Amino acid sequence: MIVRYWTSPSPYVATETMNLFEAAESMRQNRIRRLPVVHGQTVCGIVTLSDLYRFVKPYALTTVMLSDAAAGELHGHTVAEVMTRSPLTCQPNTPLEEVGELMRKRRVGALPVLQDGQLVGIITESDVLGALVSIARYGTDGKRICFRIPEDEKKETFSELLAQCEKYGLEILTLLTHPVREDPSLMVMMRVRGERIDEFMKTLWKIHYRIFLVE
């Protein structure tokens, strides 16, 4: 998975001289929580809805219309005063898992996407989560099976799974693995499609895989 297929292209932006009322209205009207800040064609920062909380209460930004007091306060300040300068960025071909890990470690909710130094999109934590959900749920007309295997038998297990799927004429729609905490094993989630799934399931039980979920 790479960023380019999950990014939001042509994002709304702010400038350093834009007042915070304009930034707040842009976020409210477009139902977003952050704006890359550009200077000419260069990304120089990012401003988020929470950056405005130092001037107005959070609830004031969730109302249908800002109060005159809140609007007046925001009019008196610019994006440059609150934005995060030199924000973390990524490129269209950056692996999505690297972006997700960077967001988690640095506790940020979005990264501007740059190509040749130019802003081409923005990737958010919601986009990353959406990508995971989309891939895990691909082919909902098939059957999802979750089971545990010894980590040191991964290669042999996958060879066996491919052989059994071929034997029963099953199409593999998704195959994901992840380590199990405090256990030298792997959790496997696969989604398969075909008419002989029940026979395939019986074979898995005979091989003694620890099956946790079938749906």
Residues 124 and 144 placed together within one structural domain of the fold: no
* Single residue among 77, 98, 133 that ends a domain in this structure: 133
Residues 166 and 119 placed together within one structural domain of the fold: no
Let me know: does 11 contact 47? Beta carbons within 8 Å.
no
Distance CA 214, CA 207 (A): 16
Residues 115 and 208 placed together within one structural domain of the fold: no
* Total of domains in the chain: 2
| Confidence bin at 95 (pLDDT 50/70/90) | very high
The whole-model pTM stands at 0.76
Q: Residue 10 is part of which domain span?
A: 3-133
| Confidence bin at 185 (pLDDT 50/70/90) | confident
Residues 127 and 145 placed together within one structural domain of the fold: no
In this structure, what CATH number is given to the domain that contains residue 162? 3.30.70.260
Instruction: Report the pLDDT value the prediction gives residue 138, as an integer from 0 to 100.
Output: 65
In this structure, what CATH number is given to the domain that contains residue 70? 3.10.580.10
Q: Over the stretch 187-205, which tens digit does the pLDDT of each residue have?
A: 888 889 999 998 988 888 8
- Give yes or no for residue 4 having a pLDDT over 80: yes
Higher pLDDT, 214 or 172: 172
Contacts (Cβ under 8 Å, ≥6 apart) of 111: 87, 88, 89, 90, 99, 102, 103, 122, 123
- Give yes or no for residue 16 having a pLDDT over 80: yes
Contacts (Cβ under 8 Å, ≥6 apart) of 138: 173, 174, 191
- DSSP letter for 83, please: P
Burial code (b: 16+ CB inside 10 Å, e: under 16) for 66-103 equals beeebbebbeebbbbebbeeebebbebebebeebbeeb
Residues 129 and 144 placed together within one structural domain of the fold: no
* Single residue among 133, 150, 172 that ends a domain in this structure: 133
Q: Over the stretch 28-40, which tens digit does the pLDDT of each residue have?
A: 889 999 999 999 8
Residues 38 and 110 placed together within one structural domain of the fold: yes
Q: Over the stretch 97-147, which tens digit does the pLDDT of each residue have?
A: 999 999 999 999 999 999 999 999 999 999 999 888 887 676 567 888 888
From residue 92, give the alpha-carbon distance in Å to each of 52, 56, 123, 127, 135.
29, 35, 10, 14, 19
Mean pLDDT of the chain: 88
| Confidence bin at 177 (pLDDT 50/70/90) | confident
Instruction: Report the pLDDT value the prediction gives residue 1, as an integer from 0 to 100.
Output: 80
Residues 102 and 143 placed together within one structural domain of the fold: no
Distance CA 168, CA 199 (A): 7
